[in-house]
Amino acid sequence: MSLLADKIKSLIRDVPDFPKPGILFKDITPLLAHPDVRAEMARTIAQRFKSESVEAVVAIEARGFILGSLIAHEMAVPFVPVRKSGKLPYATFKQSYDLEYGAAAVEIHADALHHHKRVLVHDDLLATGGTAQAAGQLVQTAGGTVCGFSFIINLAFLPGEQQLKKSFAVSPFSLVSYP
């Protein structure tokens, strides 16, 4: 494991039975209190996708916004939010999905990717892949191409990684993985 992965894992807090019994929530809040680690995570992800000619970073509400905007800044490309249904103030595209403990829908502004076709999708955690897949489908609906997915955490014992590989023909990148 890399030094960065060790730092990240040492700062992630496990919260049992959140948001419902049986779920072990990986809380990144303690990680966010360390600006040096945040900056290193953003640089590492930006460097990993440098060769992909990324034109925009799409990040998923809410925790994905935190590092997603830093990655976009590091890459000097636009940041595009994917938000929960009903939260964006302009014309949107909407995508429903299932997640590991329920169902939801996300939206993107209809004009968000008119000039930015190659898109990196970022979120804090990859579990079943439902949220990331929905965001990737929104990118496609908005006229973009998903050139990568990035995550702080991959729960590799769940099917998210395989689902994204199958749906988008790209291998998701994560800074840490829990087998």
- Digit-coded pLDDT (tens) for 105-130: 999 999 999 888 999 999 999 998 99
Element (H, E) at 164: helix 160-168
Three-state SS at 32: helix
Beta bridge partners of 24: 16
Check 38, 63, 107, 161 and give the catalytic one.
63
Q: Which amino acid is at 152?
A: I
User: Active-site residue 161, yes or no?
Assistant: no
- The predicted model gives 140-146 an average pLDDT of 97
C-beta of residue 122 within 8 angstroms of C-beta of residue 95: no
pLDDT in tens, 93-103: 999 987 656 68
Check 43, 83, 100, 118 and give the catalytic one.
100
Q: Where are the alpha helices (DSSP H) in 23-143?
A: 29-32, 35-48, 63-75, 130-141
pTM score: 0.95
Confidence category of residue 1, pLDDT binned at 50, 70, 90: low
Domain ranges of the chain: 3-178
User: Active-site residue 118, yes or no?
Assistant: no
Could you please state the CATH topology (level 3) that the domain comprising 3-178 is classified under.
Answer: Rossmann fold (3.40.50)
